[in-house]
Amino acid sequence: MHHVKTYTITLIPAAHGRSVHAICHALPDCAATGRDKREALELIEDRIRARIAQATVEHRPIPEDRTSTKFIWMDVEEFLV
């Protein structure tokens, strides 16, 4: 039997534009930084897998993602005056 868990990842481009930060809020201190979106996602996936493996070995419950994702679309034209 397979147990599938879904985790929400937040990607944040760095202000200087040379890296991307990835955060998994369901797992405290689970974050990664990559040179681009692809690398950041690969790194955060590795960290999530490691955290789940550690919890399994230590017989701790695997954390659930209770994130509620909402998107807000804004027309920024009024700010570009």
Number of domains in the chain: 1
Q: What is the pLDDT of residue 36?
A: 93
Asked if residue 5 is part of any domain, the answer here is no
44 touches 24 (CB < 8 A): yes
H-state helical runs in the chain: 37-57
Helix, strand, coil percent content, the chain, rounded in steps of 5: 30, 15, 55
Asked if residue 60 is part of any domain, the answer here is yes
Q: What is the pLDDT of residue 47?
A: 96
Domain at 59, CATH number:
3.30.160
Asked if residue 3 is part of any domain, the answer here is no
Q: Which tens digit of pLDDT belongs to each residue from 24-74?
A: 989 988 999 999 999 999 999 999 999 999 999 999 998 888 877 666 666
Query: In angstroms, how far is CA 47 from the centroid of its own chain?
Result: 10
Q: What is the pLDDT of residue 62?
A: 87
pTM listed for this prediction: 0.76
